[in-house]
Amino acid sequence: MAEQADSIPELDPAEDATAFEAAGPVSGRKSKLVVALIVVSVIVAECAVAYLVLPSVEETALMAGVVVEQQAEARAEQIAEETADDAPLEVEVTLGKFSLSVFQSVSRSTRLVDFELFGLIREEDKSEFDELLKENEKRFREQVMVIIRSAAEDDLTDSHWGLLKNQILDKSNRLFGKPILRSVHFSEFSLVEQ
């Protein structure tokens, strides 16, 4: 057994530490290099797939142009149908006269707003509309007044009153439970600030 102990070479601990330190950074560098190569190859693969799969700028523009053309054609067909001889006729209905005074706390002034409101409906909806307006007249008037009172000065002085018309149309059709009003219009609109 003594012979076996002699045959085992003695290791110097200083040599082992030096060999371990020398092997450590090399294997660490190799693992970092492998990770970097994997990351780079994944990025290159994603770029290749994106290049092959995603449409080019020209193709995207062409697709957008086709969609816009289709929407324009659909709108033109809708307008043509609405203006065709067999299209339902629209009639004008009076929605009421309004006279409001709105106090402006910031400027310490009062706005006086007077107007008459009209709407367009389909001729076949006239009797149903008259009934809905009669049932909801007070709530309808209140909604119109709230919209006018909460309107900004720019909205009231706009020559087309587009935002006000859209708000009145939207709130009214919700109140009536269906889009029976096709559009609303102001007549004799007067705005005076005191």
Total-model pTM: 0.52
Q: Report angle CA 133, 139, 142 to the nearest 5 degrees.
A: 120
Per-residue model confidence (pLDDT) at position 140: 92
How many Cβ atoms from other residues are within 10 Å of residue 119's Cβ? 21
Instruction: Note the pLDDT of residue 19.
Output: 54
98 HSE (CA, 13 A, CB side): 30
CA 60 to chain centre: 21
172 half-sphere exposure, CB direction, 13 A CA radius:
28
For residue range 74-107, what is the model confidence (pLDDT) as tens digits?
A: 777 776 666 655 556 888 898 999 998 887 777 7
Flag whether pLDDT at 168 surpasses 70.
Answer: yes
Tokens of residue 165, six digits? 């018309």
**pLDDT at residue 191, as a whole number:** 81
CA 84, distance to chain mean position in Å, is: 33
* pLDDT of amino acid 139: 93
**C-beta separation of 91 from 123 below 8 A:** yes
- Residue 163 near residue 155 (C-beta atoms within 8 A): yes
- State the CATH class of domain 90-193: alpha beta
Averaged pLDDT score across all residues of the chain: 79
What whole-number distance in Å separates Cα of residue 47 and Cα of residue 60?
A: 18
